[in-house]
Each structure stands twice: as C-alpha cells, then as structure tokens.
Amino acid sequence: MSVAVVVGTRPEIIKIAPIIRAFQNRNVDFRLVHTGQHYDYELSKVFIQELELPRPDYSFRLRESKPATQIGEMMIKLGRTLRRIDPKLLIMQGDTNSMLASALTGVKLGLPIGHVEAGLRSYDWQMPEEHNRRMVDHVSDFLFAPTNLAKRNLENEKVHGEIFVTGNTVIDAVKQHIPIASRKSVIMKKVKLGGYALVTLHRSENVDNPYVLRNIVKALTEMPIPAVFPVHPRTATRLRQYKLLENLSSSKAIQLLPPIGYFDFLMLMKNCKIILTDSGGLQEEATAPWIRKPVLVLRTSTERPEAVVAGFARVVGVEKHKILKELTNILEDPPKLPDISPFGDGDAGEKIAEIVKKVIL
C-alpha cells in the first residue's frame, strides 16, 4: 500500500521535498502526482530535476484557467489517478487550488487525508488561500501543524482529525538546499547593487489594484536603500498595464530581474539586508538560521503571526508612508533577530515521515 503525494505549484514542491527525501530514507512507498496547476508546467518539471527529486509518477496538463473550472478539471483527473493508485494515505501541503481539489477528491473516494502545514489562519476572507486551507483542514484525518499556535487554531475550530506539531518543512528545505544553492547559483554575479532590499510582489489584491500597486511602486522608488526586484509575470503585466514599469526601470537604485529559480532566490535572500514581500512562504524562509532577515509584509494581515511575535516580520500594509516609515525604523535600529526559527529546527520532514510510517501505515 502506497502514499499518494500531490503537488501542484513550485512552492509546494519545495515544501514537500524534505518529506519525499524522508520517505525515501525510510523506504515508505509513495507515488508523486503533479496536478499541473502552474501555467509553466515544463519549468516545474525542470525544477523537480534541479531539486534531485524523483519524476512525478502521474502528471496532468490543465486546459482550464479559471479557479472553479480548474478545480473541477483537477478533481476529474485526480479521481482517475487516485483510483488507479489506491493509496493508504493521500498527503498534500499548503492551501492552493490543487490542495483543495486533492482534498475534496480524497473525501469522495473515502481516502484518509494528511495535510502538511495545517492550522494557518489569516482571518482575512479576501484571501482565496484562507478559504482553501480551512476547507482542507476540516476534511483531513491527520493534520501536521507547524507550530503550537497552528495547533490551537485547529483545536478551537474542533477539527475531527488527529493533530501533530512538526515544525514547517520550509525550514528543512532551506537547510537542505542552501549548500546546493551556494555551489550552483551565479545570481550574485548579476546583482549590481550592494546593501539591497529584496522585493517580491505577486498577490492579486496588490498587483491587480492600480491604487495599491501605484502606492507600492512609489514606496520602492523613494526607499533609502537600493532594491533588487525579481518581477513575477503577473506583476510585470500589471505594471505595464498601469504604466508603472518605467517608474521602476528608470531608477538607478532599483534592479529589476526576470523570474528566477529557487537556488538563485535563496542566495538573494542570504545576501540582502531586508525583505519586502507579500508572500507567505518568504515570511517563514526569512526566519531560517541560514537566512535570518527582517521582513516587511506588504499586506494588511498574515497567517504567519509567529514570525511577527519572534521579531522577524512586521505587517506594514500597502500605504507608501507606512512602508517607508517602518523601513527607516529597521534600518536605523536593526532588530536583534533570534538564532532559531519559530517554525522548527529543520527536521519537520523526518517527523512527518516517522508519523506516517508508525501511526498511519
């Protein structure tokens, strides 16, 4: 009897990689399924090879792009695949549409479901991920919570599944991949600016709103330190549409980069002074002992409050004056960051694999 491991996006591949390696170390039989959620499916396949992971046993090419119809298409294809595998456990990570489709399919097929990174809550219903993670948690039989706070969230909601506190596999991923990135990445040879802030921006509520995007762009052009900004394809489209790209590209203190790989990104994080982002995962990665950088969260809420409590992250919203004020505060009075991450010691994958082998299989 095997475990079906489902991934759909590159962040999920990164976070599931430590579990796959731990399964391999323990001879846990598994089948890897790639839903093809990201439009750059071919890049995802290359990405899996770069991380030295096994090729997916099953993978899909999706025709639909709208969320509701895409989830439906994934459920149909996952249903056929999971019936073929007939796994003893369906395991997934995170809060994307792929994970919701996987969980709903598993429920309808009567499969036990394990959710990695369970219990995260932003309490912000503007976030599609908040809907997804809540639904997945409430149909899961085994919930792998990264922190005690996540466990309390699940207990307060009276989920029916069994809860295990394991840490977050993203810390494992940084630990395992930083040495590879140091050998393979050449991105720092391309960076022209020293003492830079690393910027990422991709969330729809930020980049699809011209008022919000304009505010953030103004903040970036007025920052007291240089910025390195790998531009997400969705963000690039909106910057052109709202005629804001020139504001950034004409600045000598901002270096725009095309989308970059995971290893390059690890090196950019390792060498920056501060991170400005609307990403959830980066709030966790920044706390890893091998990165340890302060983060300004360009959102009005976070599902990673542990990073805020530990002193790594500050939620600053999207107004220019607040972003610049907090940035100046950190530069003038750098916070003393903890040596350990609130998201674990880098052994979450091993813990999850041990639980799967001993408790579930």
Q: What is the DSSP string of 261-278?
A: -HHHHHHHHHH-SEEEE-
> Which residues fall within 8 angstroms of residue 182, CB to CB, at 6 or more apart?
267
HSE-up of 106 (CA within 13 Å, CB side)? 29
Q: Comparing 59-73, 98-112, 176-190, 347-361, which segment has the lowest mean pLDDT?
A: 59-73
Which pLDDT value is given to residue 67?
A: 87
C-alpha to C-alpha distance for 172 and 25, rounded to whole angstroms: 15
- In this predicted structure, the answer to whether residue 45 has a pLDDT above a threshold of 80 is no
pLDDT grade, residue 254 (50/70/90)? very high
Residue pair 6/92 in contact (Cβ under 8 Å)? The answer is: yes
Tokens 């600016």 correspond to: 193
C-alpha to C-alpha distance for 101 and 95, rounded to whole angstroms: 10
- In this predicted structure, the answer to whether residue 111 has a pLDDT above a threshold of 80 is yes
Q: Comparing 41-45, 135-139, 188-192, 211-215, which segment has the lowest mean pLDDT?
A: 41-45
Percent of the chain with pLDDT over 90: 87
pLDDT grade, residue 63 (50/70/90)? confident
Of residues 11 and 106, more confidence is placed in: 106
Residues 178-227 have pLDDT tens digits of: 999 999 999 999 999 999 999 999 998 999 999 999 999 999 999 999 99
C-alpha to C-alpha distance for 60 and 74, rounded to whole angstroms: 8
Which pLDDT value is given to residue 40?
A: 57
pTM of the model: 0.92
pLDDT grade, residue 359 (50/70/90)? confident
pLDDT grade, residue 46 (50/70/90)? confident
Domains and CATH numbers, the chain: 3-167+346-360 (3.40.50.2000), 182-332 (3.40.50.2000)
Q: What is the mean pLDDT of residues 301-328?
A: 97
CA distances 320 to 78, 212, 256, 327, Å, are 44, 9, 20, 11
Which pLDDT value is given to residue 54?
A: 93
CA distances 15 to 5, 75, 281, Å, are 12, 22, 9
Smallest CA-to-CA distance from 284 within 342, 348, 206, 352 is with 342
- In this predicted structure, the answer to whether residue 308 has a pLDDT above a threshold of 70 is yes
Looking at the annotation, which residues are catalytic?
202
Q: Left (φ > 0), alpha (ψ -120 to 50) or beta: where does 210 sit?
A: alpha
